[in-house]
C-alpha cells in the first residue's frame, strides 16, 4: 500500500507540475469520492492493527500535499485571471479626449447675420413681427385693398378670411409706424410664406429682410446712399447699384435695384447671365397712403423702404443653383459652410 500511495503522490505531483487538464478534473481524479486515494483509504480495513495508523497517516499526508498543491495552483490561476482582467480594462486617464464637434450656422443664418451686422453698423435696429398676420397689416395698410391685383403675386395660406401667414416682411413696417412716431430706422428679417410650388427658385416658406427709414426730409437720395453702402459692404467695395423703375403698391416711386455682378465686375458671366447686373431687392419711397394709414403725416414726414430675399442672396453668394438644398438639411451640403 505504501507503494500505491507513493505512486499516487508521484503521479499527482507530476500531473500538477504542468497541469494539462483542468484543476478541478485533477482534484476529482486524485481526491474525489471515486478517486485513487479514496480507493486506498477504503482498503485500509484489510490492514493489520500496526500498519493501519502508519498507512493512515501517510495517506493523510499525501492527501494534504495534493490538496495544498491544487490550492496553490488555483490561487495562482485566479491571480493571473485578475491580472489579465485588469490589463484588459486598463483606462489611461491621460489620453486626450475626443474633441466635441461644435455645430455651425446654416447658410441662411450666416447670410441673415451678415445682413443684420451691416445694417446694425449703419444705425438700424432689428424688429420682429408675427408670421401669422392680419390681412390688414399684410395688405390693406400697405395700400393693397381687397381685390387689388397685386395680391395675385402674393397668394398665401389663410387661417381665416382675415388672418393669414404673412407673404412679406412689409407688414412689420405698418406695425412699427402705428406704434412709433419718426424718426424710424429699422430692419426686420424673418420667415414669409406663399402658396408657391417647390422648385429650384420657389418655396412656400422663405426669408426676407425689410428695411424702413422715416424722418423729416428723407429723399430718394438717402435711399440710394443707404443701398449703395449696403451693396458695397455686402458684395465688395467696387460694387455699383442701379435703379430700374418698377411698381409696388406701398412705395411711390418704386424701383428694382440691381448690383453690378460681384463675380465678373460687370463684364458679363454665368452668374449674371451675361448681364453684368444682378437683381437684388425692391425699394421705393413710402407711399403717402401707407404713412396716413399708420398715423404718420405725409406732409411732415417722408421715408424709404426696401425688401430683399435672404435665400436669393445666399444662392448668389455661395453659388448654389437650387434653393431646395437650403431646406433639405443634407449634412453633406451643410458641412460646406
Ligand atoms: N415686399 C416686397 C415683396 O415681397 C419687397 C419690397 C419691395 C419691400 C419694395 C419693400 C419695398 O419695403 O419698398 O416683393
Atom of ligand 1 nearest to the CA of 210: 12
Query: Which residue in 245, 186, 237 sits closest to 220, CA to CA?
Result: 245
Ligand 1 environment, Cβ below 6 A: 168, 170, 210, 248, 251, 282-284, 305-307
- Global pTM value: 0.73
Mean predicted lDDT score pLDDT of the chain: 93
Name the CATH architecture for the domain at 107-334: 2-Layer Sandwich (3.30)
Residue pLDDT, tens place only, 26-56: 888 888 888 877 877 777 888 888 888 888 8
In which region does residue 35 sit, left (phi positive, over 0), alpha (psi from -120 to 50) or beta (all else)? beta
| Ligand 1 atom nearest 208 alpha carbon | 4
- Write down the pLDDT at residue 335: 93
Q: Which atom of ligand 1 is nearest to the CA of 304?
A: 13
Query: Domain segments of the chain: what residues?
Result: 2-88, 107-334
Q: 134 φ, ψ to 5°?
A: -75, 145
**CA of residue 300 to ligand 1 center, whole Å:** 23
What is the pLDDT at residue 17?
A: 81
What is the whole-number distance in angstroms between the Cα of residue 60 and the centre of ligand 1? 107
pLDDT band at 9 (very low <50, low <70, confident <90, very high): confident
At 257-311, the pLDDT tens digits run 999 999 999 999 999 999 999 999 999 999 999 999 999 999 999 999 999 999 9
Q: How far is the CA of 210 from the centre of ligand 1 (A)?
A: 7
pLDDT tens digits along 80-125:
889 899 888 888 889 998 999 889 999 999 999 999 999 999 999 9
Dist. CA 105–CA 154, nearest whole Å: 29
pLDDT for the residue numbered 4: 82
> Cα(283) to centroid of ligand 1, in Å?
6
Decide if pLDDT at 148 tops 80. Answer: yes
Residue closest by Cα to atom 6 of ligand 1 = 307
What's the rounded Cα separation, in Å, for the pair 72 and 137? Answer: 92
pLDDT at 61: 82
Amino acid at each position: 500500500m505504501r507503494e500505491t500511495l507513493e505512486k499516487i503522490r508521484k503521479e499527482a505531483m507530476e500531473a500538477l507540475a504542468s497541469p494539462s487538464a483542468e484543476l478541478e478534473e485533477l482534484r476529482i481524479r486524485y481526491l474525489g469520492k471515486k478517486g485513487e486515494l479514496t480507493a486506498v483509504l477504503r482498503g485500509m480495513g484489510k490492514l493489520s492493527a500496526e500498519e493501519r495508523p502508519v498507512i493512515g497517516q501517510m495517506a493523510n499526508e499525501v492527501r494534504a500535499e495534493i490538496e495544498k498543491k491544487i490550492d496553490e495552483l488555483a490561487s495562482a490561476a485566479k491571480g493571473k485571471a485578475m491580472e489579465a482582467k485588469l490589463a484588459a480594462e486598463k483606462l489611461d486617464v491621460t489620453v486626450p479626449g475626443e474633441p466635441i464637434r461644435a455645430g455651425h450656422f446654416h447658410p441662411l443664418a450666416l447670410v441673415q447675420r451678415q445682413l443684420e451686422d451691416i445694417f446694425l453698423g449703419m444705425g438700424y435696429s432689428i424688429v420682429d413681427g408675427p408670421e401669422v398676420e392680419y390681412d390688414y397689416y399684410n395688405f390693406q395698410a400697405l395700400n393693397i385693398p381687397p381685390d387689388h391685383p397685386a395680391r395675385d403675386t402674393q397668394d398665401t395660406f389663410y387661417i381665416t378670411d382675415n388672418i393669414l401667414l404673412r407673404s412679406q416682411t412689409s407688414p412689420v413696417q405698418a406695425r412699427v409706424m402705428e406704434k412709433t412716431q419718426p424718426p424710424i430706422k429699422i430692419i426686420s428679417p424673418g420667415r414669409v410664406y406663399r402658396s408657391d410650388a417647390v422648385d429650384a427658385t420657389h418655396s412656400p416658406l422663405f426669408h426676407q429682410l425689410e428695411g424702413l427709414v422715416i424722418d423729416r426730409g428723407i429723399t430718394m437720395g438717402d435711399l440710394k446712399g443707404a443701398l449703395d453702402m449696403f451693396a458695397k459692404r455686402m458684395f465688395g467695395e467696387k460694387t455699383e447699384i442701379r435703379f430700374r423703375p418698377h411698381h409696388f403698391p406701398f412705395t411711390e416711386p418704386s424701383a428694382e435695384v440691381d448690383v453690378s455682378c460681384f463675380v465678373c465686375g460687370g463684364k458679363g458671366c454665368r452668374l449674371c447671365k451675361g448681364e453684368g447686373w444682378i437683381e437684388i431687392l425692391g425699394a421705393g419711397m413710402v407711399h403717402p397712403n401707407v404713412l396716413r394709414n399708420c398715423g404718420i403725416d405725409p406732409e411732415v414726414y417722408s421715408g424709404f423702404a426696401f425688401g430683399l430675399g435672404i435665400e436669393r442672396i445666399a444662392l448668389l453668394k455661395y453659388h448654389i443653383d437650387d434653393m431646395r438644398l437650403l431646406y433639405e438639411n443634407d449634412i453633406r451640403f451643410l458641412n460646406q459652410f
